[in-house]
Amino acid sequence: MTNIRIDIVSDIACPWCAIGYARLERAMAQLKTEYEFTVNWHAFELNPKQSGQGEPILPALARKYGRSEDEMREAQGNMMSIAKELGINFEKLQERRTANTFDAHRLVKWAAGQGKQTAMKQALFEAYFGRALDVSDYDVLLDCVRSVGLDVAAAGKVLATDQFADEVREDEATYQRAGVNSVPAFIINQKYLISGAQDPDVLVKAFQDISAEAA
């Protein structure tokens, strides 16, 4: 069986990152008899300077991209339709507020040490896009920890200190130096970059091509 390593650079605040992973899951499922996949998550912050409660997402996006709120609402609605087809919860996508995700990334790093980084990432996506919760709030973060069966008290100690802060910053610096300036980004076998939330069939072909080249 061929081994494929996938390093995913993403942010909890990025809807396309959640969609991209759901599509990746479908691609991996199609190839499960041929390939063994190892997935590692890496941090990227879309709003590193965000503090406080944030602001409603639609006006924030409209200002950021120089578009109208109606255009942003339409774009978000399109993502909601895609997410529904993939079975992921984006029900509150348009009701969320901007949020700082640094502490959430620290918990993903912590969860990785217990084999639960993907579950933790998905719980955070669900909280933010599905329920419009503040993923910078410690109570919300600890609820996500609880939902994936990890030790809430241990997670609280992480949040109360600067544990895994250096690892998150190192991730961000490493992939910025490598030229990753948008997410999601998928680095295959530490060599090949796939940018954006590609369809499963595109990913399947990419994995097959990469495997053939390495043979």
Domain limits, the chain: 2-205
Average pLDDT of the residues of the chain:
96
**Mean pLDDT of the region 123-132:** 98
Hey, what CATH topology would domain 2-205 get? Answer: Glutaredoxin (3.40.30)
Residue 51 has pLDDT above 90, yes or no: no
Q: How far apart are CA 66 and CA 124, in angstroms?
A: 28
Residue 3 has pLDDT above 80, yes or no: yes
Q: Is 179 left (phi over 0), alpha (psi -120 to 50) or beta?
A: left
Model confidence pLDDT, tens digit, residues 88-111 = 999 999 999 999 999 999 999 999
**Mean pLDDT of the region 133-159:** 98
Q: Which among 65, 140, 157 has a CA at the least distance from the CA of 100?
A: 140
Percent share of the chain, pLDDT over 90:
94
Q: How far apart are CA 69 and CA 141, in angstroms?
A: 29
User: Is the separation of the CB atoms in 121 and 12 below 8 Å?
Assistant: yes
pTM of model > 0.85? yes
**pLDDT value at residue 164:** 98
